Every structure is written in structure tokens, then in C-alpha cells.
Structure 1
Amino acid sequence: MASVLIIEDEDIIRNALTRLLERHDYSVASAPSVEEAGDAHDLTSFDVIIADLRLPGASGMEVMRLAPGVATIIMTSYASVRSAVEAMKCGALDYIAKPFDNDELLLAVRRAVKEGRLERQNAALKADLSRDYPVAGIIGDCVPMKRVFERIAKVAPTDTSVLILGESGTGKELVARALHERSRRADGPMIAVNCAAIPDSLIEAELFGHEKGAFTGAVGMRQGLVEAAHGGTLFLDEIGELPLPAQARLLRVLQEGEIRRVGASVSRRVDVRLIAATHRDLGQLVADGAFRDDLYFRINVMEICLPALRERGDDIVDLARYLLERTYKRLKSPPLRFSQETVRCLTRYPWPGNVRELENAIERAVILADSAVITPELMALPDRQDQPREPGRRTAPDLSLEDYFRQFVLEHQDSATETELARRLGISRKALWEKRQRLGIPRPRQRSVDA
């Protein structure tokens, strides 16, 4: 039963409201003033407070300061736009003018009860999440992940630019969201942009906006993604793919706090915090002339390095169990668990696609599972425990990411299609093709046409 406190100095109205709400199964307490209500009750214990604006002593507005977080409805005989705006600014959920309609009041109370409970549930869920998983749901207890958590805790409250480094699929966007949610900008927008997914010819217009007629096809003015992040956080994933002209514009945003839309003659002020991420060696790109050194120094104020999944020890099993539970719930499947053999294979497999590959493998296994147990076969995991080491072949810890990729593709390309290979690696078919070209890994003749 929801509890309501009525603070009203007119006995007739207070008693009528009490009877009305009790008839609709609310638990009701009342008082003629804010002072008496505070003396008699714990104001924060109610689901809803209905307070008259004009009361003897403290105004009804004062109750919102004394009971923060409690849904408050302000009512008055002196309704005006100004007082309504003032009440809403102070945090009132609703504003009702006397004489009020009973149905209108009951509707406002029901809405207040519902929203108040949702807020409390949300706060409880966030508290549970923070307790179980220290940073925005990111799971990890190994030493490298503890260093990541410590770095996030230190840099998140600042406006410092952050560069997140790590292989593809390690969860760089999760770290960026954790930084945003723990910053002073958490109530502002977070705009995430994958620089590799936007064609070079369009990226400046997408990031910085354009004026009507700035180029062929610009039939109207358009706000850019940087401008959309005003007051919040701009996350540029794969910043190493940003073309040099766009890098120059981004540098101006960081140095001067302003942007100029494509085709515009006037600059606009913007207030954004930049978080960038890449799996590439930006220092080498600077040396090669593919990345501006002044921009590199601007974004590389604070680095957060994410370890590859193969370097995280027992975290792999904990993360896999978390992802399994989340996946079977999302897919509305019965509860599932890993077999002991699967757990052993999880820790021995090198995971070249990192967390993204693990997540894809688990989703496929959940879809294919006919029993409550996930086997290595369902996840397409090789059992490497008894496999002899081939002469001249390096073990997992000795391999670079590109060597892992090459070894994985060569081992599985005869038994898997390009689509299956890409899915198991946690990348797109286009990315698989591009890596094949760059590393010189030809496709086998019998699979030159992939069904």
C-alpha cells in the first residue's frame, strides 16, 4: 500500500483529501504545516507528499528540500504560470490548482507513486551493479583489469582527454561509457562515433555538420556529432582511421572549444570531453605522417590500456558465465551452464577476437543447445590439452595478434565459410577480407565462392 502525506492548513480540504485517498487504498497521514509534518513524521518515508504552496510558516516548496527524492505534488488556490514554473524547477513532480478535480488528483498521485518506485528500483539496481561489478558492469579481477578500474576512478571525475588502447573486441566502448557515467557530465549526452565506419568523403560533415549548399547533396543545414555532444562526452572509436583534414578540425575543437560547420563562415562554441580509442599504434602513425603529432599529444593526456582476453586468466571463465546468463535470459532460453570440459577449453583457447568473439560464440551455443549443458562443440572450441606442439610452432603466449589471426584462419578456413570465420573472430566479413589482403593470407581455392 502506497503512503501519502498531505500538508494542508485548511481542515476541510485536508480531511476531504484524506477520505478520497483512503477510499482508493492509500495509507494517508496529514499535517497543517511543514514544521508539524517534520516533527510528527519521517518525511523521506512516504511515497508521495501533497503540499499546499502557501502554508503558515515554511512554504510548501520547503518540503522538497527536507525530503529529497520523494515525489512531491504542489497545490494552491493561487495558480499562475510563474508559480507553476517555480515549483517544477524546485523538483515538484506535478502542480495542481484548487479547486481540483478528484480524478485529476488521483491520476497525479498514481503517476507519482509509479515514478517514485521506478526511481528507487533504478537506484537499487545501480547500487547492486556497483557492488558486484566495480565499474559500469565491466567484469574483471585480474591485476591488469584492477589497474584499469583504478585509472577509471581517478580520471573519470575530470575533463581530461583519455586515450583507450587495446585490441579489437576488448571492450573499449564499455570503458568510455564508464568514464562518462562517472563524470560530472553524466547527465549530458554521450555521442559514440566509429571513425572507421564513415567514408572519408563524409566524415567531416558527419562530425562537424554542414550548411545548406556546402556540397552536392547538402539540401539543408545539419548539426554535426561533435555539436550534438555539447555538454557531454564525445567518444571517437578507431581514431587512428580519421583523415588528416578531419584531424585538423578536431584539434581546433580541443584547443579553442569551437567548431565550424562545413561551408560556414562563423564558428560555434562547443563544450565536449573527448575520449578516443584505437587498436593501432598512434606513435607509429605519427612517424609515418598518417596522424598529426599535435593532435596525438592532445588526446594522449591519459592512457588506459585494456588487456587482451587471453591475458586475463580466470576472468575468462567469470566473464563467460556472466555472458551466458545474460544471453539465455535475453533469448528467453532455459538456464544453461558450461560443462567442465568447456570451462577448461575456455581458458586454453587464445580468443583472437577477444570479448566480442567470446560473446558471439556463447550466443551461437545458446541458440544451438538442446540440453542444459554447453559443450565445447557448441561453441566450436578446439580441445588443445592433448595436442602435441608442432615443430617450430609457437604457443599462445608467444604470438602477436596478427600471428593469432593468421594461425586461426589457416587452421579453420578449410572447414568454415568466410561468414563463420568472421563471426568466430568477432569481426565483419569486410574486415576479414581486408586483413587477409594486408597479411597476404589467400582464400583456399575450393572456397573462392562463399555460399
Structure 2
Amino acid sequence: MSRILVVEDEKIIRQAVKRLLERQGHEIFEADSLHVAKELTFSDYDMIISDLRLPGGNGTELIELAGEVPVLIMTSYASLRSAVDAMKLGAVDYIAKPFDHEEMLLTVERILKQRNLSRTNEVLQHEIEKEYPVTGIIGSSQLMQNLFTKISKVAPTDATVLIQGESGTGKELVARALHTQSRRKDAPMISVNCAAIPESLIESELFGHEKGAFTGAATLRLGLVEAADGGTLFLDEIGELPLEAQARLLRVLQEGEIRRVGSVQSRKVDVRLIAATHRNLKELASKAEFREDLYYRLNVLELHLPPLRARGKDVIELAEFMLLRSCEKMNRSIMLLTDASRQAILQYQWPGNVRELENAIERAVILADGNDITPENMAIDFSPDQYVPQTLKENLLEPETTGSNEANQGDLSLDDYFMHFVLENEDGMNETDLARKLGVSRKCLWERRQRLGIPRKKATKSS
């Protein structure tokens, strides 16, 4: 039951609105003038319905006084101008008199539902921030508590941070937590996925270019590093950054300046760098595939983001939070995880980490018939070979000709076989041939490389 204030000078209309809404279970309060309404405490009501023209002034004057309480304006002047003016002043909606009863009921219910949802979100956000003070990152396990402690200590500084973790673990969320708890929180945070930008464009995107610097450079362009001046630059998948761009980035860290492509002048920038990767940069540096000096510049403080499978009952907390959020997003009534679903969530390994869990929950909310979420709704497959096509299994499990290899491979998983096959054959096969031999698509091959941390070998230039 909601408390609604009706402000209307015409008694017949006021009584009609009151009877209509009381039949829906709402508690209705009345005011016949602007002066009477202004004497009331608006926070006592869930909603205000006011006529546009009232004795003593306009009903729109109540909008500012009402604060967060939504105001629905009724007007006999069913013109676009009066409606737009009311909405500009902050009315949540307007309805023309004489109004249709069904339209009034639908409008009131929609406004009340939006207000309740807003209140729920505020309470939820408050509870999350109280329970998980690091910008809403959820996790009660000791691994996450240790991570929260490190974030709280390093965030207020300008130290460069390297975040390491598997794909889908929430590295960008950690970067945002570092930014929002820093002195730079009111400045921009610019996020860049280094793997998503073509190698030929990465330097121009990051550092900008002068007009005419190269074919197609028709105008001067500011780079993303310059756009983050005064704030935070987050470089995701920094292990994919080409060596030439790494040298320029090192200059930003050492000298605090950039030079646009095609320019002879350097420009000072004040940027805090946060980098993330799922790859072992130290190992890449030892192979000369990543600049060693840049690695040590990046690795001032290293944060390890654990995979979801290592976080114990955190996965249930995350699932329940995501379930509530998905229900609100899809305008569904509150849904619950069954005991079987909880057990399934705990047993599953979640190779796609938090991102995979979020997708599974959202899918379950869409497919569930009632208010209970079952394992079938989430489509969780407990087979350890769930992502491996039958052709791949047949190729990888084909017995070796040498007895020694047979003995050594007895305890290897399919991931081990995949890694061995790719590393042993990538010099003699291109990606298409590798994928065909393994019985998978090129996309599947790339995704599996990413998950297992097997970098694609860069093609060598023919002499």
C-alpha cells in the first residue's frame, strides 16, 4: 500500500482520483490548494498527483519542494508545451484531463514501481558498500579480503599497478576501484583494451598524431593517454602491446610526457597507469617478447585476482547478487536459487569466471518458469571435457607411437594435450591448419589459447 497526496482544487475530480486509487489499496490524502499542500511534509508520501493550475500558483512549484518524491502533473491544457514545461521542471510524467481511468492506474503503478526499484537499488548499494567497501566488489573469502586490503592501501597513492588474473575475473572492476578511491576520482578514467586495437593503429590511438603524420591523418588527433591527463589510464591486456608502443609508454612512465606521431615536440602529461594481463609478463620479458624495463616499471605493485573456482563460497554470494540484479533488470519478481542450484554452482569450475557466472544467471532468469532457479535453467555442464569437440578429443587422445610418450601422457588432461600439440606444431602449421587438425574453429583455437595463456607466435618476415 502506498501513500499518495492528491492536490486538486476541483472537488469532483479530487474525489474521483481518490476513489479510483483507494480501490487499488492505496492510502490517499487530499489538498485543495497550493498553500495547503505547501504546509505538508512531502517525505511522508510515496507520490504526489497535482493539477497544473491551482489557486495560488502552479502545481509545478511542488516539484522542487517534493525532493525525491515523484510528482505526476494533471492538466486540462493537453498541449505539448505545458507537458514539456512540466517535465523540464522535473515532473515524472503528466496526464491530460479528463483522464481515462485505466491510463491513470497504469501511470500511477509504473511510477510507484520505478520509485520502489530506485529505493531497492539504493538500499542494495548501501549494503554492498557497507559489506564490501572496495567499490562494490563482492567476496568474503580470505583471498578477496587480502586483495581488498591491498587495494585500500595502494589506491590513494599514484603508484603504477599491475593486475594479473584470468579472463573474466573482473580486472577492470579492480582498476575502477583503484581509481574511485584515489585523489583522481573526479578526473577521467580511460580504459583501453590493447588486444582490440590493430597493431598499425595502436600508437596513434594511444599517443595521438599530427595532421599529415601519415596517409589518412587528415586532422590533428589527441591520443587516449592525453585524454586521461589528470586521471587514470587503464591498459587491459598490456601483454599484447607491440614493442614500439611499449617504448613510447615507457617514456610516459619515466618522463611524464608524450610525443604525438609525426610531432617533434613532447607534451607533459599527469597520468596514473594501471595495467592488466592474463599473461606472464616476466616470462615474456625473458623471451624478449616484452620490454624488461617496462615490466619493472609496471610492476611497482602487483595485484593477483584469483579465479572464481578458488574463491569458495564467494560464488554463491556473487550468484545471489547477480540474480537480484537480473530480476530487477528484466522486471521479474524475486527469484531464488534451489539447493540443487547452489550445489551445482559450488561444484562447477567456471572456466569463464565471473563473466560466465553472470551469463548463466541471466540465462536462468529468462528461461525459468517459476520463481526457482534450477541447474537446468543455468545450463551447467559438469563434464570436464565440456568445451572440447569430439574431433578434438579423438585427435588428442590418439595413442602415440612411442611407448615412453604413452607412459608420460597417462595423467595429462585435455588442456595439457592441447598445449603440447599447439606448442609442438605451431612452427610448421598456420592457425588454420592447427584448428583443422584439432577439429575446432579458428575462433575456438584463439579462445583456448587465451584461456591457457598460449600466445600466438608472431609471423617472421621473410628475407
The TM-score normalised by the length of structure 2 is 0.61
Displacement after TM superposition at 1:333 (Å)? 2.3
Deviation at 1:318, TM superposition (A): 1.1
In 1, Cα distance between equivalents of 2:122 and 2:359 = 31
| 2-structure distance, mates of 1:294, 1:383 | 44
- The code of the aligned residue for 1:310 comes to R
Change in CA separation of 1:111 and 1:232 when aligned onto 2, cut-off 3 Å: farther
Q: For the structure 1 residues 230 and 125, does the alpha-carbon distance in structure 2 shift closer, same or farther, using more than 3 Å as the test?
A: farther
Q: What is the letter of the counterpart of residue 197 of structure 2?
A: I
Residue ranges of structure 2 left out of the alignment (5+ in a row): 5-32, 41-55, 71-89, 91-118, 385-408, 420-440, 455-463
Alpha-carbon distance, 1:129 to partner: 3.3
* Amino acid aligned to 1:355: V
The aligned residue for residue 181 of structure 1 is 180
Query: For residue 199 of structure 2, what is the aligned residue in structure 1?
Result: 200
1:26 positional shift: 4.2
Q: Which residue of 2 aligns with 1:323?
A: 322
Question: Shift of residue 167 of structure 1?
Answer: 0.6
Q: In structure 1, the residue corresponding to 2:140 is in which secondary structure?
A: coil
The 10-residue stretch of structure 1 (250-259 or 376-385) with the greater mean CA deviation from structure 2: 376-385
Counterpart contact for 1:352–1:404, Cα < 8 Å: no
Q: Distance in 2 between matches of 1:178 and 1:372?
A: 33
Post-superposition Cα deviations, 1:347-384, rounded to whole Å, max 9, x if no partner, equal 11111111111111111222222222221122121357
- Distance between the aligned counterparts of 1:174 and 1:404, measured in 2? 33
Amino acid at match of 1:244: L
2:96 corresponds to: none
Aligned residue pairs total 320
Measure the CA separation in 2 of the matches of 1:233 and 1:171.
17
Superposition map of 1:171-320 within 5 A: 171-320=170-319
- Structure 1 distance, partners of 2:418, 2:39, is 65
CA distance in 2, matches of 1:359, 1:349: 14
- Distance, in Å, in 2 between the alignment partners of 1:366 and 1:405 is 35
Deviation readout 1:108-158 (Å, 9 max, x if unpaired): 99559749999xx99987644320322111110111101100000100000
Partner of 1:444: none
Say if 1:376 and 1:382, in contact at 8 Å, map to a contact too. Answer: no
> Measured at CA, do residues 188 and 347 of structure 1 come closer, stay the same or move farther in structure 2, by a change above 3 Å?
same
Change (3 A) 1:27 1:181: farther
Query: AA paired with 1:365?
Result: A
Matching of residue 366 in structure 1 with residue 365 in structure 2: yes
Unpaired segments of 5 or more residues in structure 1? 2-20, 29-101, 386-391, 407-428, 442-451
1:381-392 matches, cutoff 5 A: 381-382=380-381
Say if 1:384 and 1:245 are closer, same or farther in 2 by CA, change over 3 A: closer
Taking structure 1 as reference, are residues 383 and 289 closer, same or farther at Cα in structure 2, changes over 3 Å only?
closer
Which amino acid letter does the alignment assign opposite residue 298 of structure 2? I
Match of 2:347 in 1: 348
Partner letter of residue 354 of structure 2? V
Shift of 1:437: 7.1
Secondary structure of 1:192 counterpart = strand
2: distance between equivalents of 1:127 and 1:364? 27
- Structure 1 residues 384, 219: CA separation in 2 closer, same or farther (over 3 Å shift)? closer
Query: CA–CA distance in 2 between the matches of 1:371 and 1:185?
Result: 46
Residues 337 and 134 of structure 1: CA distance in aligned 2, closer, same or farther (over 3 Å): same
The alpha-carbon distance between structure 1 residues 313 and 264, as it changes in their structure 2 partners (threshold 3 A), is same
Residues 175, 204 of structure 1: alpha-carbon distance in 2 compared, 3 angstrom cutoff: same
Percent sequence identity over matched residues?
56
Instruction: Provide closer, same or farther for how the CA distance between residues 126 and 27 of structure 1 changes in structure 2, counting only shifts above 3 A.
Output: farther
Give the Cα–Cα distance (whole angstroms) in 1 for the partners of residues 210 and 248 of structure 2: 16
Counterpart secondary structure, 2:201: helix
CA distance in 2, matches of 1:25, 1:176: 48
Question: What residue identity is the alignment partner of 2:324?
Answer: E
Distance 2:298 2:57 in 1: 57
Alignment TM-score, normalising by the size of structure 1: 0.63
Q: Is the 8 A contact 1:142 1:314 kept in 2?
A: yes
**Matched residue SS, 1:207:** helix
Please say if 1:433 is aligned against 2:445.
Answer: yes
Question: C-alpha deviations, 1:164-211, integer Å up to 9, x for none?
Answer: 011111110010000000000000001011101111001111111111
Question: Partners of 1:171 and 1:115 in 2: how far apart?
Answer: 33
Q: 2:304 & 2:69 partners in 1: Cα distance? A: 40
> Quick one: distance in 2 between partners of 1:116 and 1:296?
53
The answer on whether the counterparts of 2:34 and 2:57 sit within 8 Å (CA) in structure 1 is no
Instruction: Provide the C-alpha distance between the structure 1 equivalents of 2:264 and 2:226, rounded to a whole number of angstroms.
Output: 16
When the two chains are superposed, the root-mean-square deviation of aligned CA atoms in Å is 3.8
Distance 2:314 2:259 in 1: 45
Say if 2:38 and 2:62, in contact at 8 Å, map to a contact too: no
